[in-house]
Structure 1
Amino acid sequence: MSAADEILDVVDADDRVVGQLPRGEVYARGLLHRCVFVLARNPDGALFVHRRTATKLVFPSLYDMFVGGVVGAGEGYDDAALREACEELGVASLPRPTPLFRFLYASADGAQQWWSAVYEVRVDAEVDPQAEEVAWHAFLPEEEVRALLDTWEWVPDGRAAYEELLRHRERPDRP
């Protein structure tokens, strides 16, 4: 089954499931669906940063500071975050990622939107990213990632999630 054939839950403006369709159709019609973003840190606190492969269906060859992806039909955000982190990092076992917050991502032109759950996980194991997903990777200090925000071409939704994370950290009412 190709990525475009994967079945996703279609959701409404309140993130309630209203149907199920193949990913390709969801993207083509700009329907609301669910995604997870997992910020992976090594024991020193450095962030896993990677460049996506040129064959990715969405945002090929761009950089990202998150691992993650779409939430499959009937799958919960928490399970998708763990699955995606293990798959993309090539690690057999990780602790369950810690949920941080959710937000509604909208592309600059407003044509694409998806509910986005942001997580964080500590990676103590050696990573071995999927070759079909990740063309290059490294753990970079967060200060370096911030310095590269305006230099590298980042996936728009990952950059938006990172900017939301920075705002989230500044909120006095956050847990």
Structure 2
Amino acid sequence: MGERVERVDEQDEVLGVVDRGEAIRRGWLHRVATIVCRDGEGRILVHRRPGHAARFPGHLNWMLGGAVDVAESYKDAAARELAEELGVLARPRFVLKFLCAGAISPYWLGLHEVVVTGPVRPDPAEIARYDWVTEAELAELVGLQTFVPDAREAFDRYRRAAVIR
């Protein structure tokens, strides 16, 4: 059996524990935690996914993250993913949660934000390249064909939440 996640309903209430691959294949809702990283100047980290990634290889993304483990909170999952993918130990701040249509399968997306003040150590299995961009530059990048589709939806919601001015 692969990665275990909690299958949830339209209200984000737990229905049971399932294999994440099966949840994706069957379109069952589960939870994903994401993190938006800003530097001390307010710029946002944008990264290119590795060419060998199973989902959206070579695409751009402005969020880090992954599936929420069984009995794990969105916030704990965000902190874990931040450490795993960027080598940063911090407690991201919760920003918003929404039911994401998903390009592959629907899921609940919990979006968090953190200010990164120290060095980063990107995991090459997750991040091929990265750069810090301004909000205006990010708004342009989001429109590119090579931007992860789900990240586009999250950007629109993040913007509407008045986090990006």
- Kept after mapping to 2: 8 A contact 1:37/1:158: no
TM-score (norm 1): 0.87
* 2:148 is the counterpart of 1:158: no
Distance in 2 separating the partners of 1:79 and 1:151: 31
Matching residue within 99, 108, 112 for 1:104: 99
* 2:122 is the counterpart of 1:129: yes
Shift of 1:39: 0.7
Specify the SS of the correspondent of 2:136. Answer: helix
Which structure 2 residue ranges, 5 or more long, are not aligned? none
Specify the SS of the correspondent of 1:13. Answer: coil
| Residues 35-50 of structure 1: pairs in structure 2 closer than 5 A | 35-50=32-47
Distance in 2 separating the partners of 1:69 and 1:14: 20
Task: Give the 3 Å change call, closer, same or farther, for CA 125–51 of structure 1 in structure 2.
Answer: same
- How many residue pairs match? The answer is 163
Distance in 2 separating the partners of 1:159 and 1:130: 23
- Kept after mapping to 2: 8 A contact 1:37/1:161: no
Shift of 1:59: 2.2
Q: Which runs of 4+ in 1 moved over 6 A?
A: none
Distance in 2 separating the partners of 1:152 and 1:51: 13
Q: 2:50 corresponds to which residue?
A: 53
Distance in 1 separating the partners of 2:2 and 2:151: 23
Which structure 1 residue ranges, 5 or more long, are not aligned? 171-175
Q: 1:11 corresponds to which residue?
A: 8
Shift of 1:20: 1.0
Q: 2:108 corresponds to which residue?
A: 115
TM-score (norm 2): 0.92
Q: 1:173 corresponds to which residue?
A: none
Specify the SS of the correspondent of 2:150. Answer: helix
Distance in 1 separating the partners of 2:52 and 2:13: 31
RMSD (Å), alpha carbons: 1.6
Matching residue within 126, 130, 138 for 2:131: 138
> In the TM superposition, what whole-angstrom CA distance separates every residue of 1:46-98 from its partner, at most 9, and x where no partner exists?
1110011133232222110011111011111110011111211122x22x111
